[in-house]
Structure 1
C-alpha cells in the first residue's frame, strides 16, 4: 500500500487463565499493594514476598512472607510481578527469565514480558485498557469513561448468557439468529430489571423461547456516516453498526468508519464515484430489500446525513413498498462539518437568517436566480458537488445578480484529517478554476462566511492569478 502508514501493536491482548495457579509479587510497598488488589479479584493463589512489608494488605486474600526471596518461591508460579528494587528483585527477574515465567517489572516497560492494563471489572466481564506502558494515565482516564458506561449489574447478565449458552445452541441452529438472541439478552432493559430482582433465568428462558420460534425479521438502517471522522458518528450509529449483519456503504465512507462494524459482517461497496457508478440506484434499492427479506439487519451507510442529498428518499420508498422495517440515523452533513472546522456561523443575527443546502450539478437558470436572490437577502448557500464547475456556477450567480464581492469559503474533505480550505469572493472564484485538493467539496457563499476563521485558507484571488 503506497502512501498509507499503518500502526501496529507491539503486544497482543489476551486474557490469561490463573484459576488454581500461583502468582508471585515481590515487594511490600504501595506498588505491590496495587497489584495485589487486582490479583485478589481473581481465583489465583497470590503470594507477596518482601523483606519489609510496609503497605496494609489486610482484607485481601493473599499470603504474606516478610523475609528474603528464595528461588523456590517461583516454583509453580504462573506470573511474577516485581514491585521493588534490590537483590531480591534481581533474583526474581533472573529466575523468572530462566524458567520462562511471564514477568512484569512495575514501571519499567523495557523489562516487562507483559503489561498490566487498567481493568474495568464486571465479572465475568472484564475490559482491559493498555497503552503498552507508554501512557498509564491515559489508560486510567479511558477506564473511568468505560466504568461510567457499564452498569454494575452487567456481569450478572454476562453470567446469565453463559448459563443459557448450551440451551441456546440446541434450540437455535442459525448462527445469525442465535447472535440476535444474545444481543437482545444483553441489551434489553426488561432483562436487566429481571436480573436485578433475581428473576433473570426465567426472563432469559422466555426470551430464548421467543427467538427459537423462527427466523427474525430483517430491517434496514439508513445511517449517516458523517463527513469521515470516526468520532463524529453518533452513539446510535456505532451501536447499530455493531448489530448489522451486512453493511452496504458508499464510496465516500472511509475505512475507519467501516471498521466500526462487526468483524464478521458482510460489507458491500455500492460506491458512486464521479463518472463511475458501480451500482445504479435501482440496483441498490433491490439489494437492500432482498437482504432484509432474508432476515438480515442491513446498515445502509451513507456519507454525511442520509437525508441530505443522499437519495435516501428513493430507498425509503422502495422499503415502504416492500413492507420492510427501516430506521433513519442522522449524521453530520459536510456543510455543517465545514462550518464547524472554520468557525463559520452559517446563520448569524442581523446577517444571515437561514442556510440553503443544494447540489451545484445540474442547476438551471431558475435555480441560480433563486439562489442569487437568497444570497442577496442574506441567506448562506452551501453548494455540494460543485468543485469542478465552481467557476462556472460563480459566474452564473453573478449574472443572476449576486454581488461579486460576496464572501466565499470552500472546504475540501470537510471533517477529515487533512481538510483543505480556500477563501475569497464570488468574483475571485468566477475568475478561474482553482487548483483544489482531491476530495468532495462544499462551497459556502454569503455574508456570514466573512465571520468565520479562514485565516489559514488559501486565497482564491491567488488561485485566480495562477490560472491567469
Structure 2
C-alpha cells in the first residue's frame, strides 16, 4: 500500500529558531530560503562555505563549528539535515524525533518528519507542491509550469485584498455576499489593471465595486497576438488572458492548438476574413461584436494571428474601442516573419548578406499602389511579404523592373511553425512558376533576399526545402517552360 498523504501546512517561523546541519551548497540554499521567512537561523558544521561564513560575520546567521551534537537542537522549532554523510543525517533525524522537533532530511523522505515543498511565490501568495518526497523532479516540473502561468501581479492583488480585508467584512458581513463580491473582483478588470501596473486605477475600481457591490461589471477588450500557429510560441501573458476570457473573437487562421489553450467555457466566435469576401463589412462586424460584448460587462479577447500591430488592423480596432470608451489592453504576439523565418532557418538579418529587413503587405487599403518599389529593390536587405501568395507575379515583375537581380534567392514558408510546414526555395525569376508547381497556398510568407538561400543549410523544422527538382503537385510543363 502507498504511504499515507502528507498534511500540508504553512509554518510561521519569524523569530523562531531553525537549525540547518551542513555547511555546503545544499545547506546554503536552505538557509537562504529560511532567512526570507524571518527565522533565527543556526548553522552547524565543521566548516562553512564562503558565503555562509560571510553571513555569520554579518550577524545574519549563528554558526556552530564541529560535529553534530543533540544539544544544537535546544530552542529549535525545525531542523534541516543537509550534509553528504548519511550517518550524520540519521543522527539529526533521531535526535529531533526524541525531542518532538520537526526534521527535514534532504533527499531522504523516510527520515524526514516534514518535507520542504517546491514553491511558487507571488508576493504573499505561495503555492507549495509536494510529491511526498518520492518524486521531487515531478514537483519541480509542476512548479516550473505554474511559474509560467501565474502572473507577477498576483502579489499586488493579494496585498490589495489583505489591506481591505476588514473593510470588506464590515461592508459585507454576509458570507454569500462576500463570495459574490470576490468573484466579481477576481473576474473583473482589477487583475488586468494590476497587470498593466495601474495600481491607482485598480484601487479606484476596487473601491467602486465595494461601495456598489451589485453594480454591473465593466467590460474590456484584450487585443492578443496568437503567433503564427505553434501553441508553444504563445506568450505567457496571452495564455493568462485567454484563460480569463468570457468571449474570444478569433481569426480563421488561428490554430486549433492555440484555441485549445483558452478557457473551456468561453464563447468562441470566428471572425476571419474569407478570400474574396467583403473585408470592410467583416471588419465592421468585428468592431460591432467587440463593442456589444464589452458593453455587456464581458472580458473580450480579440485573438489575431501573428502580432495584432503588424498588418493586423490592431490600430484600427483600438481606435474604435477608444471612441466608444471601452477599456483595452494589447498583448503582443510573435509576428509571422520572425517566427516563419526562424522555423525555416532564414535569419532576417546577416552581417554579410542583409543589414536591414522590411515587412511588406501585398494588400493595402482600397488596393492602392503605395509601395516604393525602387527602395524595395535595393540590395543587402531582406523583404518579408505578408499576404502575397496571390500577387507573386506582380511582386517579381516590379522588383526586377526596378533593378533587383532576377537571380536573387527567395523562400516561401507555407503554414510556418505548424507540423505541415513547407518551404519552397528558388530564384526571383521563377518565383510564381515554382509556387504554382508546388501548389503553394495561404497562409504563406514570402522572403526575398540573399538570406533566403540559407534555408537550404539551416532548416531544422519539418521537411527539407522544395526546389524545382523533385515532384510537384502542379503541371511540370508550366515550370519547365518558364525555366
Q: Structures share a fold, TM > 0.5?
A: yes
| CA distance 1:437–1:154, shift in 2 (3 Å) | same
1:49-448 equivalences under 5 Å are 56=93, 137=137, 140-144=140-144, 146=146, 167=174, 169-170=176-177, 177-180=184-187, 184=191, 209-210=210-211, 212=213, 214-276=215-277, 280-361=282-363, 367=370, 370-371=372-373, 373-432=375-434, 433-436=436-439, 439-448=442-451
Matching residue of 1:6: none
Report the Cα distance in structure 2 between the residues aligned to 1:317 and 1:169, rounded to whole angstroms.
40
Shift in CA distance, 144/330, structure 1 to aligned 2, threshold 3 Å: closer
Shift in Å at residue 184 of structure 1?
4.2
Cα drift, residue 259 of structure 1: 2.9
Equivalences for 1:17-28 in 2 at 5 Å? 25=3
**Pair 1:24–1:153, CA change in 2 (3 A):** farther
Q: Deviations over 1:414-449 (max 9, x none)?
A: 122332111111112143523245541000001232
Structure 1 residues 324 and 426: alpha-carbon distance in aligned structure 2, compared to 1, 3 A threshold: same
Specify every segment of 5 or more residues in structure 1 that has no aligned partner in the other structure, as ranges.
Answer: 1-22, 27-34, 43-53, 64-82, 85-117, 193-202
- Counterpart-to-counterpart distance in 1, 2:97 and 2:327: 53
What residue ranges of structure 2 are gaps of 5+ in the alignment? 11-89, 101-108, 111-116
TM-score, normalised by the number of residues in structure 1? 0.61
Tell me the TM-score normalised to structure 2 length.
0.60
1:224–1:147 Cα change, 3 Å: closer
Structure 2 residue 459 is matched with structure 1 residue 458: no
Shift of 1:281: 0.7
> Would you say the 8 A contact 1:119–1:128 is kept in 2?
yes
More off after superposition, 408-417 vs 391-400:
391-400
> Cα gap change, 1:418/1:129 in structure 2, threshold over 3 Å: closer, same or farther?
farther
What CA distance in whole angstroms lies between the structure 2 residues aligned with 1:188 and 1:365? 40
- The SS at the match of 1:272 is coil
Q: CA deviation digits over 1:341-389, x for unaligned, max 9?
A: 2332222335323222222247989556x33542333321111122244
Question: How many correspondences in the alignment?
Answer: 364
| 3-state SS, counterpart of residue 285 of structure 1 | helix
* Kept in 1: contact 2:130–2:136 (CA 8 A): no
Q: CA deviation at 1:140?
A: 3.2
Q: Residue 9 of structure 1 aligns with which residue?
A: none
Alpha-carbon spacing, 1:365–1:185, altered in 2? closer, same or farther (3 Å): closer
SS state at 1:458 partner: coil
User: For residues 183 and 144 of structure 1, what CA distance do their matches in structure 2 show?
Assistant: 26
Determine helix, strand or coil for the equivalent of 2:354: coil
- Pairwise CA distance, 1:142: 3.7
Which range is displaced more, 428-437 or 271-280? 271-280
Could you tell me how far apart the structure 2 residues matched to 1:178 and 1:308 are?
A: 33
Query: How many Å apart are 1:219 and its aligned residue?
Result: 1.7
Tell me the alpha carbon deviations over residues 26-49 of structure 1, each in whole angstroms, 9 at most, x when there is no partner.
Answer: 9xxxxxxxx7xx45659xxxxxxx
Give the C-alpha shift of residue 189 in structure 1: 12
Please say if residues 380 and 449 of structure 2, whose CA atoms lie closer than 8 Å, have aligned partners that are also in contact: yes
Q: Deviations over 1:8-57 (max 9, x none)?
A: xxxxxxxxxxxxxxx9739xxxxxxxx7xx45659xxxxxxxxxxx8947
CA contact (8 A) 1:352 1:379 kept: yes
